Amino acid sequence: MRILATLLMLALVGLFIYSLVWAYADAEARGKPGWLVVLLLVLLAWPGSLVLWLLIRPEDALPARKPRRL
C-alpha cells in the first residue's frame, strides 16, 4: 500500500512540474511573461489556477517560424 501511495505522489509531482513547464512555454508563445504565469499557478490553488489560465489565456499565439533555406 505504501508503494502505491508513493507512486501516486510521484505521478502528481510529475504532473505538477509538467503543467508548470507547459504553462510557461504557452505563455511565452502567446507573448505573455511565462514566469508570471508560473508564479500565479504556484501561488494559487494549482489545479484551479491551471484551468483559469486555460480560460483566460490570449487566443492569438505568435506565428511559428519557418525554417530558413540555405
- Domain coordinates in residue numbering, the chain: 2-56
pLDDT of residue 53: 74
pLDDT of residue 10: 94
Place of cell 508513493: 6
Place of cell 511565452: 28
CB 33 within 8 A of CB 1: no
pLDDT of residue 69: 65
CA 58 – CA 31 distance, rounded (Å): 9
Flag whether pLDDT at 66 surpasses 70.
no
Q: What angle do CA 27, 31, 32 make, to 5 degrees?
A: 50
**Using one digit for the tens of pLDDT, what is the confidence trace for 8-48?**
999 989 988 998 898 899 888 888 888 988 888 888 777 77
pTM for the full model?
A: 0.65
Average pLDDT over residues 34-63: 76
* Nearest alpha-carbon partner for 29 in 65, 67, 68: 65
